[in-house]
Amino acid sequence: MTEIIKLKNVAKHYYMGDDVVKALDGVDISIEKGSFVAIMGPSGSGKSTGMNLIGSLDLPTSGEIYLDEHDISHLTESELAQIRGKKIGFIFQSFNLIPNLTAKENIMLPMLFQGLEKNERESRAEELLGLVDLKDRINHYPNQLSGGQQQRVAIARALANDPEVILADEPTGNLDTKTGENVLQFLENLNKKGKTIVMVTHDSKLAEKHAQKIYWLKDGKIEKVTRKEKEKWKTVK
């Protein structure tokens, strides 16, 4: 399979006076197009830093990051923003919906930055609300929606520009078990349709149930890599 994202010996260090915090310390991550990958680890392991780098929200201190075989580790913020808008959709634990915009308007927003005409944005937003079974909530504001409904709006927003990669940061963290399972099932269905899913989680059961490959992080380093083969997990690194 073709690699869509590759991190080569990537480090992210933060300097606090004389102290250096090594959030990531020389990691190699390979994500194949159309795969479902989980990045696992406890709080402070570096998994959220890894997601920010994979999603081009941040630049590494050292190392190389490739998206579709193009090195993006030295691009400007405006160049990264263009890549994010076209290639990557984000789903956050806290939903991150804009409170004074309706469900439809929240979904339309990413398309505005890509220069789509208003009628095209409206049509696409309505189509996506139908996809996540929320057409009857089209004009509702986030505070009028349940947690599960807000997360489904967030998924629809992530799909607004038809990105190749969906990054999900603890996507079930604020949901009850049943609603969380429904959200994960939806991500699995997107994966079956060809989307690349990268999920950051601290929940090993969740990762092993839904992902095909897991990177286990600890103290900024990759502790091991496991892959599902014939319904069994095998350590590959």
40 contact partners, CB below 8 Å, separation of at least 6: 47, 201, 202, 204, 207, 214, 215, 216, 217
Percent of the chain with pLDDT over 70: 100
CA distance 55 to 128: 22
Beta bridge partners of 147: none
Task: Specify the higher pLDDT residue, 231 or 192.
Answer: 192
117 contact partners, CB below 8 Å, separation of at least 6: none
Domain ranges of the chain: 3-235
Kindly report, residue by residue over 90-141, the tens digit of the pLDDT: 998 888 999 999 999 999 999 998 888 999 999 999 999 998 999 999 999 9
Kindly report, residue by residue over 52-86, the tens digit of the pLDDT: 999 988 889 999 999 988 898 888 888 888 888 88
Q: List the one residue out of 188, 106, 197, 201 whose CA is nearest residue 151.
A: 106
**pLDDT class of 43 with cuts at 50, 70, 90:** confident
Q: Does the pTM exceed 0.85?
A: yes
Question: What CATH code is assigned to 3-235?
Answer: 3.40.50.300
Task: Specify the higher pLDDT residue, 154 or 86.
Answer: 154
The H or E element containing residue 212 is none
Please, are residues 27 and 221 in contact by the beta-carbon 8 Å criterion? yes
**Mean of all residue pLDDT scores within the chain:** 92
DSSP 51: H
6-20, 24-38, 166-180, 206-220: which range is least confident on average? 166-180
